[in-house]
Amino acid sequence: MKAKSKLIIQAGKLLDKHCKGCELIKDLRRGDDRNRFCLSNCEVYKELREIGNELEGSNVTIAREWSKDEVFYLKHHRKRYTIKQLAVRLDHTEESVKWKLKSIT
């Protein structure tokens, strides 16, 4: 069996075993809420992302959690620096910085 086929089957098995009847997200109604929850809380999601990255040949890294110090820095420097500068200083993606700013304001 080809490597891509094995990866697709592996992803399908993970989805069937862990995601199909997941009790943790059953109360989250919107797909965006579910995705955000899985992105920051689910180990299976991280495995699926790694499989997806292998399939598409990319080296995209998974967003990491924000520390209290990073959130503090972001709150107190959001008017001083651009999104891009904050992303570089905090070692987060620009998209992650935008989302975090929305959630804390």
**Which of 36, 56, 76 is the last residue before a domain boundary?**
56
Q: Nearest to residue 62, comparing CAs of 100, 103, 93?
A: 93
What is the model's pLDDT at position 68? 94
Mean pLDDT by 10 residues, the chain (105 residues): 80 88 80 80 87 74 81 96 95 90 88
What is the model's pLDDT at position 79? 95
What is the model's pLDDT at position 61? 56
Residue 61 lies in a domain: no
Residue 51 lies in a domain: yes
Question: Are residues 7 and 48 both part of a single domain?
Answer: yes
* Positive or negative: CA dihedral 13, 41, 34, 21: positive
Residue 62 lies in a domain: no
Residue 78 lies in a domain: yes
The parent domain of residue 9 ranges over 3-56
Residues 95 and 16: their CA atoms lie apart, in Å, by: 30
50, amino acid identity? E
Contacts of 77 (CB under 8 A, 6+ apart): 86, 89
What is the model's pLDDT at position 21? 83
Q: What's the whole-model pTM score?
A: 0.48
Question: Are residues 50 and 7 both part of a single domain?
Answer: yes
What is the model's pLDDT at position 90? 94
Contacts of 14 (CB under 8 A, 6+ apart): 44, 47, 48, 51
Residue 36 lies in a domain: yes
Question: Are residues 49 and 81 both part of a single domain?
Answer: no
Q: Look at the chain and report how many structural domains it folds into.
A: 2
